[in-house]
């Protein structure tokens, strides 16, 4: 994968991780509010677990895209 395409892929994954992390923070706030109000939280727990599974998968993709090549290959790609 050329450097420009690899960089674009990494940037896209970072954007997706940011969106997902912001959604998780909103879920946590909603969960705290529901718990304080004595309301049910099962759906909120399910949403959070689903988002956490998505985050894990996105982070795995990010690691593969960002860290999978060897330093020697990175240097060769830049020349």
Q: pLDDT digit string (tens) for 27-76?
A: 999 999 999 999 888 998 999 899 999 999 999 999 999 997 655 555 56
Q: Is the pLDDT of residue 7 over 80?
A: yes
DSSP helix/strand/coil, 38: coil
State residue 20's pLDDT score.
95
Chain mean position to CA 7: 16
State residue 62's pLDDT score.
94
Q: What is the largest CA-CA distance in the chain?
A: 61
State residue 40's pLDDT score.
85
Q: Tokens standing for 54?
A: 């998505």
What residue has token string 């990010």?
A: 62
State residue 75's pLDDT score.
56
Tell me the C-alpha distance between 65 and 17, whole Å.
14
Q: What is the mean pLDDT of residues 1-17?
A: 91
């Amino acid at each position: 994968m050329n450097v420009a395409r690899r960089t674009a892929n990494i940037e896209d994954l970072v954007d997706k991780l940011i969106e997902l992390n912001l959604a998780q923070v909103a879920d946590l706030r909603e969960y705290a509010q529901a718990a304080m109000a004595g309301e049910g939280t099962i759906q909120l727990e399910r949403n959070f677990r689903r988002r956490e599974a998505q985050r894990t998968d996105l982070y795995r993709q990010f690691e593969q895209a960002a860290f999978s090549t060897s330093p020697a290959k990175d240097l060769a790609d830049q020349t």
